[in-house]
Chain A
């Protein structure tokens, strides 16, 4: 099935979708509660290792491994989330705390025997093919959409816009923030599990704070407060380096420069708060054709 697509394009598409899974998760946290994490690589790492250990050492099926990865990554997020969010740290202090947490987890992974330390775990099975990855992404987007458009999402937006006013309105800051952190960590863990069975080799130094930053960069570039924006950004970030065919470091040089440029020139990201939706696209097409309600009054002043 799907064998008409060359393995190379499949691999790029899988990578883009895996990036999107983690990015959508982080979008819920950073984009909708306004707190920035520089430690999400830790959750990706925990997910990757949980799934790798589950499938390789305990011989469990991939689906169980994915669920375990999400669950364990989510529980890990509570370790950092409960104390820091309860203390209601200022956003910049929280970011520094997540940075420290990410580094601490990486150092732990380098020294545990079950993760085979810094040598990493080679020879994982190739489960993350096109279809399973796509199904996982679709599920994640579906759950995220529900999370955002229902009660907790609304509360999260209120908190992002003005957390003091939100608290005055009776929103439990700690609970909503913790829930979205948990959700984002579950997504990151699932993304990590997919990654482990796509690259088929994991090692602690794949999950440094550069990885966390790139993930945050994806969300910021896509537009904080949007789900489709980060997905588009994740796809662009996966495809562009393949098209340019440049060495890893030049790619990162470009990422760094793009990040600064976005902050200086277009801080709202690609999409801002907006979303791409089916009805929106239909409206857009109608406007182009010149019929329908969207065209009334003209498009240009």
Chain B
């Protein structure tokens, strides 16, 4: 029983990070309807920003989070302006967006290999006593902090999207971009803003991933889990992204403990394909056939 509880706690800790990544990814999917493969690389770069900031020794976790969010927000914004905006203007099919995203992703990843190198960069220790004990299960203080911070960040995002005027225009644009534009939504600005918001989430998850697993150029593979989480929850749906992330984290944690830790990723990607085939709308999403 203690092992089950410990497995659940471990799963929730990683699931929280998956949720953060999936939220950022889903935000972009909801508005442009394509899979932004470059998102993982922005997470990786955010992780490096956090590492370099914290390893100077003058910067604490809070400031590093702020810097990574700002940096990732800017990167994400320019990513859209350079690689996607001209495609959007000529109404290119999603295929072209995805290829452009893949190009950006290959570019950024190898840029990091070429300039920073392939070594793993370990963050300095944040807490003196790293773990606390809850009902016999141990939980990293950093994980606890990550979960609380994630909940707060997602709550803020939800408030912003549901309650503010700008949030309404984002929702309108994600529902139907053309109609929203006719009704006076500045589509270019809204999409830019969505990319900045997604960048903020990339920044947060980059730091938390870096503290947990170190920062390295090949981090992209772990961000693939963001797509899996988003598909489970329903692509483009924010509550879906959060739920999908947590389900995936817990599922992976149980698979590694009770079945096989090496086959964990086979299960995750198997779940991805199963969901796409059986229930492409995921748990909370809307699935639209391609329009005629």
How distant is the Cα of A24 from the Cα of B289 in the complex, in angstroms?
Answer: 30
Say if the beta carbon of B17 comes within 8 Å of chain A.
no
Within 8 A of B (CB), among A26-62: 34, 36, 38
Q: Does A206 interact with chain B (Cβ within 8 Å)?
A: no
In whole angstroms, what is the CA distance A95 to B100 when docked?
14
> Given the interface contacts A90-B280, A210-B106, A264-B100, does A101 sit within 8 Å of B273 by beta carbon?
yes
B99 within 8 Å of A (CB atoms) = yes
A236 interface contact, C-beta 8 A = no
22 residue pairs bridging A and B, Cβ less than 8 Å apart: A89-B276, A91-B93, A91-B95, A92-B33, A92-B98, A93-B280, A96-B35, A99-B224, A100-B227, A210-B106, A213-B105, A213-B106, A220-B99, A253-B106, A253-B111, A255-B106, A256-B105, A257-B103, A259-B100, A260-B100, A263-B87, A264-B82
Give the most central of A107, A164, A263: most B CB within 10 Å: A263
Contact of B102 among A93, A97, A104, A217 (CB under 8 A): A217
Write out the residue numbers on chain A whose beta carbons fall within 8 Å of the beta carbon of B102.
38, 213, 216-217, 259
Nearest A residue to B97 by beta-carbon distance?
A263
| Contact between chains at A249 and B83 (CB < 8 Å) | no
Closest residue of chain A to B110 (Cβ to Cβ) is A252
* Bound Cα distance from A20 to B279, whole angstroms: 37
- Given the known interface contacts A89-B276, A90-B290, A91-B95, the answer about A107 and B107 at a Cβ–Cβ threshold of 8 Å is no
CA distance A216 to B287 in the complex (A): 26
Contacts of A262 in B (CB 8 A): 103
Q: Which residues on A sit within 8 Å (CB–CB) of B224?
A: 99-100, 103
A-B pairs under 8 A by CB, number: 153
Q: How many residues of B contact A (CB 8 A)?
A: 51
Pick the contact of A111 from B82, B263, B277 — CB < 8 Å? Answer: B263
In the complex the two chains form, is B104's CB within 8 Å of A256's CB?
yes
A86-129 interface code vs B (CB 8 A; 1 in, 0 out): 01011111111101110110011011000000000000000000
B-contact 0/1 string along A238-282, CB 8 Å cutoff: 000000000101101101111110111001000000000000000
